[in-house]
Amino acid sequence: MTKEQIEQAVAAEAIDGVAERFEGDYPIVIKGLKNSFGSQIVHQDLELKVRRGEILGVVGGSGSGKSVLMRAIIGLQIPDAGTIEVFGKNTIGAEAGEEAAVRSRWGVLFQGGALFSTLTIGENVEVALKQFYPELDPELMHEIARYKVVLSGLPADTASKYPSELSGGMRKRAGLARALALDPELLFLDEPTAGLDPISAARFDELILELADTLDLTVFLITHDLDTLYAICDRVAVLADGKVIAVGTIPELLESDHPWIQEYFNGPRGRAARASKSRAESMDKRDKAGA
């Protein structure tokens, strides 16, 4: 095929509405969000801005609506009121055509991995590629799936395995590989380290940090894991009483006098996580001094 023929074929196969990279400062802007289930109000006047390139940790007690917030942002939960702008586009009531522009630029890791059980891990990664970029050469899709699997810290031969053949930790990584399939700018992680042993959890934290750095990601991370917060989050948003009651770095939050924040960070687990963090830092310093 000649160059012109290829260009024509590609232009014919490509779908409309896949957008350019986002250059603004805030990929996610939420204003006056209200969510409720029947008479139970989950969110009321919730405001949140996520900065480009940051890893934002979202914490809150069980039932404070962390997952609901994520579902609302990615369009799985239709809010009662308010606006949610992702990449500068309002996602609520967006037209079908506009949706692709946003959906092709984020990746979501669900709590249980939510891998398609009848597809291999490699095929799982390819699903989104086929959906949004049908013009890509099938061979290129295979190659992408292969390196995404390895990039997510899985052994190479995992690509041909089915989700049911993997352990819980590997399934999370496979979910991450699928979330990264489209080289997203925005990554949603719902409790990525829940249910992992401390070693795997720490490795997963490192992996996210490394990927966020290399791939220039903005990460929206829901977690209960204090170690994760200390290790990788640039800022932390605290959800309570249906609102984001505070956003900031952990030292900033520690100065807040909200009882929930105090209890969260100064409870036994919070203190332990902080102690291990400062221990790790002092060891780093000693190593550097020694060198």
What's the distance, Cα to Cα, between the start and end of the chain in Å?
58
Contact mark string toward other proteins, 270..289, x via CB under 8 A: --------------------
Please report how close the Cβ of residue 145 comes to other proteins at its closest, in angstroms.
6
Find residue 34's DSSP bridge partners.
81
Q: Minimal CA–CA distance to 125: which of 186, 178, 63?
A: 178
Contact mark string toward other proteins, 63..102, x via CB under 8 A: ----------------------------------------
Residue 14's CB is within 10 A of a number of other CB atoms, namely 13
Could you tell me which residues come within 8 angstroms of residue 128 by beta carbon, excluding any fewer than 6 positions away? 178, 181, 182
Please report how close the Cβ of residue 18 comes to other proteins at its closest, in angstroms.
5
Q: How far is CA 161 from CA 10, 68, 172, 246, in A?
A: 31, 32, 14, 43
Give DSSP secondary structure letters for 41-71.
Answer: EEEEEEEEEE-TT-EEEEEE-TTSSHHHHHH
Contact mark string toward other proteins, 221..260, x via CB under 8 A: ----------------------------------------
Contact mark string toward other proteins, 162..181, x via CB under 8 A: xxx-----------------
18 part of the interface to other proteins, by CB under 8 A: yes
Specify the residue, 137 or 284, whose C-beta has the smaller distance to other proteins. Answer: 137
* Range 97-136, binding other proteins (CB under 8 A): 104, 117-118, 120, 122-123, 126, 129, 132-133, 135-136
Find residue 43's DSSP bridge partners.
35
Contact between 193 and 201 under an 8 Å Cβ cutoff? The reply is yes
Contact region for other proteins (CB under 8 A) — 52-60, 143-151, 231-239, 258-266?
A: 143-151
Contact between 168 and 160 under an 8 Å Cβ cutoff? The reply is no
Residue type at position 156: A
Among 95, 157, 255, 257, binds other proteins (CB under 8 A): 157
Specify the residue, 118 or 167, whose C-beta has the smaller distance to other proteins. Answer: 118
Specify the residue, 33 or 144, whose C-beta has the smaller distance to other proteins. Answer: 144
Contact between 166 and 174 under an 8 Å Cβ cutoff? The reply is yes
Q: What is the binding site for other proteins (CB under 8 A)?
A: 1, 3, 6-7, 9-11, 13-14, 18-21, 104, 117-118, 120, 122-123, 126, 129, 132-133, 135-137, 139-140, 142-151, 156-164, 182-183, 214-216
